[in-house]
Structure 1
């Protein structure tokens, strides 16, 4: 304590630093770049959250519109509206909750079905969509490879 009095009594110099008026933004930029990379990698995975192995087709690609609802049927037969799983037997009630819009026609329905599914299961979902009043349904396929050629079904060789 005596030293403190001695220094201040003689007009000694006080060592005080001036406040710094600059902000170092380098760590902030580094964090933002890492977050940007994370979002760029995960954004395509969020487009279709239900893993489905689509059948192949040679059809032209369908334009995506913002007023569309994706209905997916996975390999086990469970139905999803966008990414939400619909309880078994609850598809009619879930379809009633879809917003019809101002014109009353409703959004375009995009139907994705696993290629291992029974044809009857896909038709049952399409029947429920039709009964709910959704008449504009797009079937989504995989366009990577050529589709298996369709035979006429009549093999009358004698």
Structure 2
């Protein structure tokens, strides 16, 4: 009588997932990041001895400018000026690489036309970052 030593194969699918290759990949990436991170930090902290110049080519640009509209004129960052001086000041802001935010404060007694004149000047010089300052009702 002949014996068969083969196992009978079951027809059920193998439901186990082989993740060995994924774990190897994860460890390889971890080692790469551990080696490259200190190199990136050294690159950002590299000190350079910059040359010194006699004059600064750029003056400090303001991030915001306060314009108060009064009955008799305008106050730009506390300096009282008329409409021609205000126009020259706004022309200077328009030439900056990054235009400042204009905060407009209107006195309650100021005629609305003066505020509209300021808005027209801001539109003419393409100064679109505008903030109206108000106070809350009491």
TM-score calculated relative to the size of structure 2: 0.49
Which structure has greater helix proportion? 2
Higher relative contact order (CA 8 A, sep 6+): 1
Larger Rg: 2
